[in-house]
Amino acid sequence: MDIILVRHGKTEGNLFRRYSGRTDEPLCREGVEHAKASGADQTVPRVYVSPMRRALETARIKFPNAAQTVCPDLREMDFGDFEGKTADELQNDADYTKWVESNCTLPCPNGEQMDAFADRICRAFDGIVRESIENNDNRLVVVAHGGSIMAILSRYGRPERQYYDWYVDNCCGYRARLDGAAWETEPVLSDCEKFETLP
């Protein structure tokens, strides 16, 4: 099965480098234009998508003929007290300093912790994969968030890499392959390759 993981287009929060997890903002004008310019695939029949507006809008632009299956647990990490702020605005915040020094693995105050977030994302992805295998799909497309994609690939992606090594820009993503017959015993995404535009 072919796997396509796409990060949503740019938002105002992305432009100002804010921590935007639970904030449900739309694509900004630049984000819409970039999503349109970076290619669309009219042959995809179904897209699994985060419930956040930025993901839903990106999916409509890049996969205009696809039915959207909304998966609530594909949403981005909840940054708690850091939500909506930039690193510069948080530089004197002791909790933020501790969080960054932990490589962002400590819980965000009043938000999520990295491992719990990754477990949520990967449970959702595993369910999507199993549904696609049952439906005999030959292609699985997910439109979500940078953190969501990094969580999926840091667990299942091959060659193996750390979480932040799978970073991808807005409207870009990864292609990979999945062996449906082996998923139960060896859940991996092979031949992972970053892309900037759809064919």
What length does the chain have?
199
Q: Which of 8, 34, 57, 145 is catalytic?
A: 8
| 13 annotated among ligand-binding-site residues | yes
| 131 annotated among ligand-binding-site residues | no
| 9 annotated among ligand-binding-site residues | yes
| 11 annotated among ligand-binding-site residues | yes
145 catalytic residue (yes or no) = no
| 8 annotated among ligand-binding-site residues | yes
| 105 annotated among ligand-binding-site residues | no
Q: What would the 3-class secondary structure string for the chain be?
A: CEEEEEECCCEHHHHCCECCCCCCCCECHHHHHHHHHCCCCCCCCEEEECCCHHHHHHHHHHCCCCEEEECHHHCCCCCHHHCCCECCCCCCCHHHHHHHHCCCCCCCCCCCCHHHHHHHHHHHHHHHHHHHHHCCCCEEEEEECHHHHHHHHHHHECCCCCHHHHCCCCCCEEEEECCHHHCCCCCCEEEEEEECCCC
Q: Which of 76, 83, 112, 145 is catalytic?
A: 76
76 catalytic residue (yes or no) = yes
Residue appearing with tokens 């490589």: 103
Residues annotated as part of the active site: 8, 76
Q: Which residues are annotated as a binding site?
A: 7-14, 54
Q: Which residues are annotated as a binding site for substrate?
A: 7-14, 54
